[in-house]
Amino acid sequence: MRQNSAESRLAQSQIHLSIKDMERFDADAVVIGAGVIGLAVARALSMQGRDVIVLEAEALIASHTSSRNSEVIHAGIYYAKGSLKARHCVQGRRKLYKYLDQHSVTYNRCGKLVVAHGDEAAGLEGIVGRARDNDVEDLVIMDGDAARALEPALAPEIEAAIHSPVSGIFDSHGYFLALQGELEDRGGMIAFETPVEGGEVKPDCVELVTGGAMPAIITAKTVVNAAGHNSVFLAAKIAGDHVATLPVPRYVKGSYFSITGRTPFSRLIYPMPGTSSLGLHLTVDLAGRGKLGPDAEWLDEDAEPPFDYQVDPARAEHFFNSARRYWPDLQKDALAPDYAGVRPKLVNPGEPSGDFRIEASGPHLINLLGIESPGLTSSLSIAEHVAELAS
């Protein structure tokens, strides 16, 4: 684990909490966190006939990672064969499109181009080969002229591109509300402003201590930790054998800049991927607004929630220079600071991006750690997997 401040935080999380005079409740299944993963897991458990309570520290659903991203539906192109990211992204994307259709949530299967300059083009075959190993369908490598026939505003220096027609964008907030509605229709509930302060894994249950206006002790048959940014720290607050093997959490801030005026692209435009992100890409949202991002800014080793989501206007120079490699007609004065998100990582700068960690600690506690991109696309598949572990 991280030394000094991180070790101190994890040690403090084991301090015995006073539980005198707290109300006590029994529960069947408790999900910690009402982000997209928590909502999807809660829905999946409720579909099994479980009585589900979601504990959310904030006053609303999906208030952090889930709502601070590109709203992209990923194809599953980049992830290592056999990884949880590869499995859940591909399966989750297929499930997500069906779900959006069934619940009348708006989306645009606009497709994506991964564009390459010069020597970068040699790397496209490897990306496509890995993607096909992951069962990603309908990918085509095309030369620069064919890419410009699809998107005439692309730079003449683009040598080649991958076309992924199954990629898209969608109304993520409509999706969150649909998940919440299904959960509540099946009798599940969300307890807002109810942070988990501690707990313990016991032989036949997990005991949680909650804070907020009405502190309580909840004894649950199943607990799923889907706390996003806080998942590692929260897992450390729940005493049990899993604490000894928890990873060190790291965080990458990704900023976005909006584009004023018309954006002359109809597809997602991605550069070649890096180690920390999929590159500073261009999307056009459902309202027709263009935006660039995210970039990848590693936060300090001791960074922890809550985060500063302000976008530094000075980063516009980097955004402009990066985007001009594939969009030469972009004007610098068209960029405006928009919003930022923070991705939870389980690796250090310069290392491969790593995988999701979905870990059962005995039969009663499941920890979801490092659920970053493509977590949004993967959410329904992750939820089904967790529900199977919990059954």
Greater pLDDT, 273 or 334: 334
Question: Between β-strands 365-369 and 216-225, what pairing exists: parallel, antiparallel or unpaired?
Answer: parallel
pLDDT of res. 22: 83
Q: Quick check: is 375 in a domain?
A: yes
Q: Quick check: is 78 in a domain?
A: no
Residue 239's domain spans which residues?
5-66+173-246+355-390
Q: What is the pTM (predicted TM-score) of this model?
A: 0.93
282: β partners: 269, 292
What share of the chain in percent tops pLDDT 70? Answer: 93
Nearest of 340, 42, 38, 10 to residue 184 by alpha carbon = 42
Q: Quick check: is 73 in a domain?
A: no
> Helix, strand or coil for residue 30?
strand
The string of pLDDT tens digits covering residues 83-138 is 999 999 999 999 999 999 999 999 999 999 999 999 999 999 999 999 999 999 99
Tokens of 157: 């220096």
213/316 same-domain check = no
247 upstream amide cis, omega within 30 of 0: no
217/275 same-domain check = no
190/227 same-domain check = yes
Nearest of 233, 225, 224, 271 to residue 251 by alpha carbon = 233
232/360 same-domain check = yes
Q: Quick check: is 85 in a domain?
A: no
Q: How far apart are CA 131 and CA 144, in angstroms?
A: 21
Fill in the amino acid letter for 219. Answer: T
268/325 same-domain check = yes
Q: Quick check: is 91 in a domain?
A: no
At 163, the pLDDT band (50, 70, 90 cuts) reads very high
267/161 same-domain check = yes
The domain that holds 216 is classified in CATH as 3.50.50.60
Domains held by the chain: number: 2
186-190 own/partner pairs: CB under 8 Å, 24+ apart: 186/43, 186/46, 186/47, 186/52, 187/46, 187/51, 187/52, 188/42, 188/43, 188/45, 188/46, 188/51, 188/52, 188/53, 188/54, 189/52, 189/53, 189/54, 190/34, 190/53, 190/54, 190/56, 190/61
The domain that holds 339 is classified in CATH as 3.30.9.10
Q: Quick check: is 83 in a domain?
A: no
